[in-house]
Chains A and B, each alone.
Chain A
Amino acid sequence: MLCGATMASMQKRLQKELLALQRDPPPGMKVDEKSIQASLTQWIVDMEGASGTLYEGERFQLLFKFSSRYPFDSPEVVFIGDNIPVHPHVYSNGHICLSILTEDWSPALSVQSVCLSIVSMLSSCKDKKRPPDNALYVRTCDKNPKKTKWWYHDDNC
């Protein structure tokens, strides 16, 4: 069921977020304007690995999907494309284990704060490796990472 008022407030909010991201993008990040549809429900953000980190020189792509209940529902965020960062909290299918994407999401957070958390997650990594349960997870998980019951250990690598 899609209520008109909900849809309107979701689009108004996303419109504002898009402007903020274009005007003041987190370092190394850029929203791919071609990827954005009129409904604003799906965006791709290009990111570069920060210099001085294990990901320096690498390029990644993040896909954001928003439901009509955004910002009450968290966005669905995955890495896509050929280069999925090798990181203990990133599965080889692009799913990310990050608490603000599910349990700790708050409507006061934004695309920008998600981007910053992902940059900081990558930047603090000291050992490039996949999560220990990667093989099993990518074989058995739902396509939507929000359907996974994540078990958050820590925010570090």
Chain B
Amino acid sequence: MAQQERIQQEIAFSTPLVSNKVNISFLNKEYTDDDNVYQRKIQDLGSKYGHVRTTRRDGNCFYRAFGYSQLEALMDNPKELQRFKAVAAKSKNDLVALGFPEFTIEDFHSTFMDLIEMVERQISEAELLAAFNEQNTSDYVVVYLRLLTSGYLQKESAFFEHFVEGGRTVKEFCSQEVEPMAKESDHIHIIALAQALNISIRVEYMDRGDCGGVNQHDFPEGSSPGVFLLYRPGHYDILYKL
């Protein structure tokens, strides 16, 4: 346990929560030159995306990557920003109606709304990035996105119970795999969050499978995505279209 904590701390201090935007060729350096499977897939990725932002590998990467990327995309889309803001504003009452205690969730909700309002006031990309790299603010957003995910899964539990593994109820799954910090995300979490906020996310899957290129998946299926994420086993980063 102590060793695990130490390793986590080392990771924490060595990488930013959300990095600067770097050229997609940055990914090449993370694999050896003779790692043909990954080098070929990065080449495929490079035909569609020009840049990447990495996120800290702390188990919260999906929520942090999504949160940053979604708010950044809203910077130059005022109409969508207003729609998103209205959905976000209303979401707290939906969670309270589902039984979440208002006095704990309101702090997370208000931090999330503060960030949306910062985007509305046309802050710079650097300011948004700084906010996402301030541990407290950033983690408050992560918690709120986790709660939205949990709330949607519970609201639609009749549907999602078929996808929950280990003989658990949707509620048990949420309290073990969604609401605690550092628990990683899978398809079910992404579907729920995308639907909770009525937005669309494309994930490019890049793993060791020997199938040539990367596999993409849109959540929900058939939607037109505004947020693009790169998945490598156990981790999500942010992608930017060419």
Task: Knowing A72-B181, A106-B175, A149-B1, say if A3 contacts B143 (CB, 8 Å).
Answer: no
Report the stretch among B97-105, B155-163, B208-216 that lies at the interface.
Answer: B97-105
Nearest 6 A/B pairs, CB to CB: A106-B179, A106-B180, A107-B143, A108-B104, A110-B104, A5-B136
Q: Which residues of the partner chain B approach A108 to less than 8 Å between Cβ atoms?
A: 100-101, 104-105, 108, 143, 147, 179
Which of chain A's residues has its CB closest to B100's CB?
Answer: A108
Determine if B181 and A113 form an interchain contact, defined as CB atoms under 8 angstroms apart.
no
Within 8 A of B (CB), among A1-52: 3, 5-6, 9, 12-13, 16-17, 20
Interface residue tally for chain B (C-beta within 8 Å): 21
Q: Which residues of the partner chain A approach B147 to less than 8 Å between Cβ atoms?
A: 108
Q: Which residues of the partner chain A approach B2 to less than 8 Å between Cβ atoms?
A: 147
Determine if B108 and A9 form an interchain contact, defined as CB atoms under 8 angstroms apart.
no
CB distance from A97 to the nearest CB of B (A): 15
Main secondary structure of the interface of B (DSSP, over half): helix
Interface: A104 (CB within 8 A): yes
Interface: A105 (CB within 8 A): yes
CB distance from B67 to the nearest CB of A (A): 15
CB distance from A135 to the nearest CB of B (A): 22
Q: Which residues of the partner chain B approach A107 to less than 8 Å between Cβ atoms?
A: 104, 108, 139, 143, 181
Determine if A110 and B101 form an interchain contact, defined as CB atoms under 8 angstroms apart.
yes
Determine if B180 and A3 form an interchain contact, defined as CB atoms under 8 angstroms apart.
no
Interface: A138 (CB within 8 A): no
Q: Which residues of the partner chain B approach A5 to less than 8 Å between Cβ atoms?
A: 134, 136
Which of chain A's residues has its CB closest to B139's CB?
Answer: A72
Within 8 A of A (CB), among B83-128: 100-101, 103-105, 107-108
Q: Which residues of the partner chain A approach B181 to less than 8 Å between Cβ atoms?
A: 72, 106-107
Interface: B135 (CB within 8 A): yes
A123 CA / B89 CA spacing, docked (Å)? 39
Task: Knowing A3-B136, A5-B136, A147-B1, say if A105 contacts B103 (CB, 8 Å).
Answer: no
Interface residue tally for chain A (C-beta within 8 Å): 26
Q: Which residues of the partner chain A approach B179 to less than 8 Å between Cβ atoms?
A: 106, 108-109
Determine if B136 and A6 form an interchain contact, defined as CB atoms under 8 angstroms apart.
yes
Q: Which of B100, B104, B136 has the most CB of A within 10 A?
A: B104
Which of chain B's residues has its CB closest to A152's CB?
Answer: B176
CB distance from B13 to the nearest CB of A (A): 10
Interface: A71 (CB within 8 A): yes
Interface: A56 (CB within 8 A): no
Interface: B146 (CB within 8 A): yes
Interface: A103 (CB within 8 A): yes
Within 8 A of A (CB), among B187-232: none
Given contact pairs A3-B135, A108-B179, A147-B2, enumerate 14 new A-B contacts (beta carbons under 8 Å).
Answer: A3-B136, A16-B103, A17-B104, A104-B175, A106-B175, A106-B181, A107-B108, A107-B139, A107-B143, A107-B181, A108-B143, A108-B147, A109-B104, A113-B101
Determine if B1 and A9 form an interchain contact, defined as CB atoms under 8 angstroms apart.
no
CB distance from B102 to the nearest CB of A (A): 10
Q: Which listed residue, B1, B135, B146, touches A6 by the CB 8 Å rule? A: B135
A112 CA / B139 CA spacing, docked (Å)? 22
Determine if A17 and B103 form an interchain contact, defined as CB atoms under 8 angstroms apart.
yes
Q: Which residues of the partner chain B approach A112 to less than 8 Å between Cβ atoms?
A: 101
5 A-B residue pairs with CB within 8 Å:
A106-B175, A106-B181, A108-B100, A110-B101, A110-B103
